[in-house]
Amino acid sequence: MTSAYLTAVRACPRAPPTDSSTPSEITAEPQAGPSTLTPMSSPLPDSTTKPTKVKTRKVKIPKPQPPKTEPKPKPKPVPVGPFDRPAEEEQKNVHEVYEAIAGHFSQTRHKPWPFIQKFLHSLPPNSIGLDSGAGNGKYLPSSRDARLEMIALDRSSGLLEIARNENGGECVRADLGFNGWRRGVFDFAISIAAIHHLSTPERRRHAVKSLIRPLKLSSQPSYSKFMIYVWAYEQGTLSKRKMGTLTNSSPGSTPIPSTSHPGLTTESAPKNTETEAKDPVEEVEEKIQDLLVPWVYSKPPPAPGPKSPSSGEPKDDDLKASQTEEKAEAKVYHRYYHLFVQGELREMVIQSAEEDGFIVLSDGTGQDELDKQLKDIEAGKDQNKKKWLRVRGVGWEADNWWIEGEIGLVG
């Protein structure tokens, strides 16, 4: 053995004896008890050192989303042919529909059209008038503002109830062809967006006659006046109706006659230069003027009421089921419309007047021109016809054709 090895051996302390027979002779270092054992990887805590805070971040787990469903296409107007039984078809496609949607329909018909308001304010105060096809009577307040008295006539009992309760005034339930009025009882009459629901030319002309027959016939101003509004076949590019003409005509290029309501100035809408720069799109050869126009009606949810103590809070499945049932209750109704083309409304009024024995004078609003025509009639040989009608204005406004006329008596 080398000296180095011996030196190392002598320097090493000997291990304690392993003989367990004399435990009292064994001197061991104090051992930590079980309650003080600390893992080797974790040092004993120091009274001067604060415990380290571990930062945690909340992670939001996204809720599973139901698969997106494609929105259902909106129902489109349906072209229809001539009805074999017009009265029955109108009962089904007009009267029954308005009874079913009266409340829902009235919610969208509160704001009166300014054009009609101006006509009413042009009439002499204290005049008595008729609104034929009045719906929910939204022009009754306008007539009172103009210091007029007006009776609302409509076929729908549901709409008339709303007219009476919300807009006030006298209401009569009858259709557009009602002939029960006494002759000469009204000073004016209006029919706004109603005659286009009649499905034959004869029924539409009959409605015009029923509108002007109860008007007062006077040989001196002021003369009785009337106004009619109907849906137009010619639609502007901003129209929401999506029916009628298929041209790319803008509101400015839609034909608007120069004559207008005497209390208004009819100005052409600004022209769409971008549209006019393109090649015009030709109209389809066949003009579809008779349509069944859809109305999507969703039943409103039931009013909230007191909860039953035994029922408790509804489960998610119950809520989903009720929502599904409400969506399933949405129903599409179809209303019949006849879309009027340019010139058709004026022709209808003139033909109706001639059939009812009126002399039709030249269009205009001037009193001097009217007096001259009346003198010519008095000097003429035909003395059988004493009542006359003239068109004061006709035009297109917001996808509608309108006409204003007046009637009187010769001599």
pLDDT in tens, 138-149: 999 999 999 999
Residue 321, C-beta contacts closer than 8 angstroms, at least 6 positions apart: none
Instruction: Indicate the helix (H) or strand (E) that contains 120.
Output: helix 114-121
**Are the beta carbons of 367 and 394 closer than 8 angstroms?**
no
Report the predicted TM-score, pTM, of the whole model to 2 decimal places. Answer: 0.71
Query: What average pLDDT does this structure show over 40-66?
Result: 66
Q: What percent of the chain has pLDDT over 90?
A: 51
pLDDT top residue among 341 and 69: 341
**Are the beta carbons of 229 and 393 closer than 8 angstroms?**
no
Question: Which pLDDT score is estimated for 75?
Answer: 86
Would the pLDDT of 283 be above 70? no
Mean pLDDT value across the chain: 77
- Is the backbone peptide bond immediately before 222 cis, with ω within 30 degrees of 0? yes
The pair of structure tokens assigned to 95 is: 């009267």
Alpha-helical segments (H) within 163-228: 201-212
Question: Which pLDDT score is estimated for 33?
Answer: 44
User: Where are the domains positioned within the chain?
Assistant: 78-291+336-409
Instruction: Indicate the helix (H) or strand (E) that contains 318.
Output: helix 316-328
Q: How far apart are the first and last CA of the chain?
A: 161
Residue 87 backbone dihedrals phi, psi, to 5 degrees: -60, -40
**Are the beta carbons of 223 and 211 closer than 8 angstroms?**
no
Query: What average pLDDT does this structure show over 210-230?
Result: 97
Lowest mean pLDDT among 67-71, 166-170, 282-286: 282-286
Distance CA 303, CA 211 (A): 42
Confidence of residue 72 (pLDDT cuts 50, 70, 90): confident
Domain 78-291+336-409, architecture per CATH: 3-Layer(aba) Sandwich (3.40)
Would the pLDDT of 160 be above 80? yes
Amino acid at site 350: I
Distance CA 290, CA 228 (A): 19
The pair of structure tokens assigned to 178 is: 């009602």
The pair of structure tokens assigned to 222 is: 């002021």
